[in-house]
Amino acid sequence: MRVAILAHEKFPDRAKTALGVLRYADYDAVAVLDRETAGQRVNDFVPDVQDAPIYESMADLETDEVDALLIGIAPIGGGFEESWRADVRTALENGCDVISGLHYFLADDEEFAELAAENDCELRDVRKPSDDLTVSQGIADEVDAEVILTVGTDCSVGKMTVSMELARDAREAGYDAAVIPTGQTGIMIEGWGNPIDRVVSDFTAGAVEEMILEKGDEHDYLFVEGQGSIVHPAYSAVTCGILHGSMADKLVLCHDAGREAIHGYESFPLPDLSTYIDLYENLAAPVADSDVVAGALNTSSLEDDAAREAVDAYVDAIDVPATDVVRFDSETVLDALL
Amino acid sequence: MRVAILAHEKFPDRAKTALGVLRYADYDAVAVLDRETAGQRVNDFVPDVQDAPIYESMADLETDEVDALLIGIAPIGGGFEESWRADVRTALENGCDVISGLHYFLADDEEFAELAAENDCELRDVRKPSDDLTVSQGIADEVDAEVILTVGTDCSVGKMTVSMELARDAREAGYDAAVIPTGQTGIMIEGWGNPIDRVVSDFTAGAVEEMILEKGDEHDYLFVEGQGSIVHPAYSAVTCGILHGSMADKLVLCHDAGREAIHGYESFPLPDLSTYIDLYENLAAPVADSDVVAGALNTSSLEDDAAREAVDAYVDAIDVPATDVVRFDSETVLDALL
């Protein structure tokens, strides 16, 4: 699918979803829309992702050049910026689908709904949970695939990135691996998935199970994108539901080097790494034998030497193979997983 | 508040909500509506709850005799039975509020919404989560009250009943205790509360915290109604969110005598009781010091002698005071909690 990625005035530094899509998605990115950096190219700013020209608006693209417009940024609060309306309108008039992870559902916008109907296009609000979700049956372990779940010491430690990197590296090494996306950006990258943090709480595990049952006999390995942390004061419910719903065979413990307290909840210090391993494994045990067999450390805040030292210390602390999968080679970690 | 309780064709055995309300709520029950048992009284069937006459319909009550109609039964699926419509209509025409825990929201019913507006009455759908819920701040422990949470080895082991019984016994012993209701029947009994299993998964802990913050400085003890079980393949997310959101000081481990596997998920045997204690305490620890200090055993399936033996064995297994709070005196358990 050929996509244009809307990132007005925020590319590249404040366009996390756009960058995730350029880095990991299979889409053919035909353009980024950013009226501030228009005229330049993606690789002028970020060298190691898919390149594309940057345009001012959808009107700069040929009508038959693109299949979908993807909203690659989100203002605080997840609202729709009226300055984007012309681009969405043009996309729909040209027969393009529009993919959005905003809290504001495009399908509920009267003008967009009408245009989509007229032009036979789809408005895909990936943050809107499907209506047919229900409770887990406790059968995710019946699929053929080995299920690998990324679990974290906190939010924003890199679980989505680790899932994407490991699945990609596994595929490059010849394995049949897929990602089970559970969050907004993951869903945009993969083009499908349930936004687990938005489903009815009773359906948390069920919404993960449903995805594993759907894909589990088509692949040899599923990398499930984890969310939150099992000791997070606010988000642990989502983490727990994913842990039990996925019935994972193997866990990858993700951590951000130097993080000492729960992000945004600084009065809660992170427990020891060994405590996390015990908690995840012991909590999973009555439902599935899920062992922490590898680790992933986010060292993006460190220089090269310090990063290498931090990885070594992390391996010592958790006593399983680990690396920074973005910065270094992931071979030892993949060896432990596949 | 004076209520009539609708329980057509299901009183008493299949009217769990009606019975819970008659047993625990502060409402003045002026009537039960059941066209099958009309003419008899509640105490003809159930001796140890609030008595009330059983009528055929709302039309049998004086208009100024009642303040609210409460739907005390639920068909499978939680739909609205059209055979109840006349009663709801009469109630609204007489100026009564209507309280319902059905999945079908009465406020979305055009006729009821119009009648409620005309007669200045409220349609209270307790299963509809409030729109202003949000994520937990991790501050439930800042309230003055001691927070006591019932946790379970499974669903349907009696957590709601234990919360209600202990709060009532505490009040009768002179303590200032209140219940924090988290499920449909608990909310009907208390007349307020968040249906935790229906909230957006990200708000699970926050919806509990919000209630504790609201009531926590008004009472000395809060008994939080727990849900599910921390090892339930489908519902553990809700349990985990309540555990962390409540930041409970003390936990009461609830179990059903003889239960050996997860109800409805029979391939999952219940772990040892000591495993539950470790899991609940260790999972809570990074967020709050929550210790299992008492137990509650549901012995309703056993004869008296066997029940006493089962309680003794339960006390031995969990190594804290325990009893069947419905069948026996709760003094030793209250001593451990208050």
Please, what's the b/e burial string for B60-80 (b: 16 or more CB within 10 A of its CB; e: otherwise)? ebeeeebbbbbbbbbeeeeeb
pLDDT-based confidence at B67, cuts 50/70/90?
Answer: very high
Nearest to A197 among B201, B206, B271 (CB): B201
**Structure letter (DSSP) for residue B36:** T
- Contact B25/A at CB under 8 A: no
Q: Tell me the pLDDT tens digit for each residue of A203-259.
A: 999 999 999 999 999 999 999 999 999 999 999 999 999 999 999 999 999 999 999
Beta-carbon separation of B231 and A283 below 8 A: yes
Contacts of A271 in chain B (CB under 8 A): 285-286
- Contact A287/B at CB under 8 A: yes
- CA A42 – CA A19 distance, rounded (Å): 9
pLDDT-based confidence at A21, cuts 50/70/90?
Answer: very high
Beta-carbon separation of A275 and B286 below 8 A: yes
Percentage of chain B exceeding pLDDT 70 = 100
Among the listed residues B12, B5, B10, B62, the one whose alpha carbon sits nearest the alpha carbon of residue B31? B5
- Contact B266/A at CB under 8 A: no
- CA B180 – CA B69 distance, rounded (Å): 23
- Contact B287/A at CB under 8 A: yes
- Between vectors from CA B202 to CA B198 and to CA B204, what angle results, nearest 5°? 50
Cα separation values, B217 from A52, B149, B165, B168, B228, Å:
58, 17, 22, 19, 27
- Between vectors from CA B12 to CA B10 and to CA B15, what angle results, nearest 5°? 60
* A 234-263 residues with CB < 8 A to B: 234-241, 243-245, 247, 262
Residue B328 has pLDDT above 90, yes or no: yes
Nearby residues of A267 by Cβ (< 8 Å), 6 or more positions away: A261, B138
Please give the radius of gyration of chain A, using alpha carbons only, rounded to the nearest integer: 20
Place of tokens 């609708």: B6
Q: Tell me the pLDDT tens digit for each residue of A45-64.
A: 999 899 999 999 999 999 89
Contacts of A247 in chain B (CB under 8 A): 233
Alpha-carbon gap: A245 to the closest alpha carbon of chain B (Å): 7
Nearby residues of A110 by Cβ (< 8 Å), 6 or more positions away: none
Beta strands A221-224; A265-269: pairing state? unpaired
Global confidence as pTM: 0.93
Q: Tell me the pLDDT tens digit for each residue of A121-175.
A: 999 999 999 989 999 999 999 999 999 999 999 999 999 999 999 999 999 999 9
Helix (H) or strand (E) run with residue B184 in it: helix B184-190
Strand partners, B3: B29, B68
Contacts of A135 in chain B (CB under 8 A): 234-235
- CA A308 – CA A302 distance, rounded (Å): 9
Q: Tell me the pLDDT tens digit for each residue of B97-131.
A: 999 999 899 999 999 999 999 999 999 999 999 98
- What integer pLDDT is reported at residue A10 of this predicted model? 95
ipTM over 0.90: yes
Please give the radius of gyration of chain B, using alpha carbons only, rounded to the nearest integer: 20
Could you give all domains of chain B from N- to C-terminal order, each with its CATH number?
2-125 (3.40.50.720), 140-337 (3.40.50.300)
Nearby residues of A62 by Cβ (< 8 Å), 6 or more positions away: none
Contacts of B196 in chain A (CB under 8 A): 201
Longest dimension (CA), chain A: 60
pLDDT-based confidence at B282, cuts 50/70/90?
Answer: very high
- Is the distance from CB of B53 to CB of B84 less than 8 angstroms? no
Nearby residues of A268 by Cβ (< 8 Å), 6 or more positions away: A231, A233, A261, A262, B138, B286, B287
